[in-house]
């Protein structure tokens, strides 16, 4: 599964799309909320650790469901509304839902993944993609530094692509607004 580096990089375009306050303390809190939305499905790690003492025993299961994404979107929109009252509720809901669902998809397309329970509780079996994009974190083999360096390079490259595309889109939008 990708680390918070790849997941968190999606906060960059989400912040641009959100249109919420981006300056000062509120802007920092909004960005933190976006970062949390990017990694929210991984709360199963903390829950599993508290329940069983094994943090990764249930990772990729119940919290990695597309069916939970809209519920998270509602919570995200409510939290954002408290932080930034001028934010657009429907847009916040869509972005919160999308960030949650994209996390699930990113975990799905990890090389050698044990899969995710995408449709829990209706279908609790884990599904894995035959195609991989992310190298993923080796939770079971911490001594494989070569794999960790490969994962880091893969995720930094992904983050740079996300950042670069976001910059291009924002510049084009500003240019269109200026020319109109």
If residue 74 lies in a helix (H) or strand (E), which one and from where to where? helix 69-83
Name the pTM for this structure: 0.91
180 band by pLDDT with thresholds 50, 70 and 90: confident
Digit-coded pLDDT (tens) for 23-45: 788 889 999 999 999 999 999 98
Sign of dihedral through CA atoms 94, 163, 10, 116? positive
Nearest 10 degrees: CA dihedral of 49, 54, 60, 61? Answer: -80
Digit-coded pLDDT (tens) for 126-174: 999 999 999 877 666 767 778 889 999 999 999 999 999 999 999 999 9
pLDDT score, position 162 = 97
Give the chain's end-to-end CA distance (angstroms, integer).
44
87 band by pLDDT with thresholds 50, 70 and 90: confident
């Amino acid at each position: 599964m990708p680390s918070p580096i790849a997941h968190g990089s999606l906060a960059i375009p989400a912040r641009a799309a959100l249109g919420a306050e981006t300056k000062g303390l509120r802007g920092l809190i909004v960005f933190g909320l976006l970062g949390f939305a990017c990694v929210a499905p991984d709360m199963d790690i903390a829950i599993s650790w508290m329940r069983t003492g094994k943090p990764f025993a249930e990772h990729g299961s119940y919290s990695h469901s597309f069916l939970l994404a809209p519920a998270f979107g509602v919570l995200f929109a409510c939290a954002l509304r408290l932080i930034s009252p001028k934010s657009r509720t429907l847009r916040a809901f869509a972005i919160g839902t999308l960030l949650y669902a994209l996390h699930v998809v990113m975990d799905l397309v990890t090389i050698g993944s044990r899969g995710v329970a995408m449709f829990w509780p209706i279908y609790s079996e884990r599904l894995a993609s035959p195609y991989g994009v992310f190298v993923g974190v080796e939770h079971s083999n911490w001594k494989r530094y070569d794999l960790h360096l490969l994962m880091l390079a893969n995720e930094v490259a992904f983050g740079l692509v996300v950042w670069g595309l976001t910059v291009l889109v924002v510049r084009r939008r500003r240019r269109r607004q200026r020319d109109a």
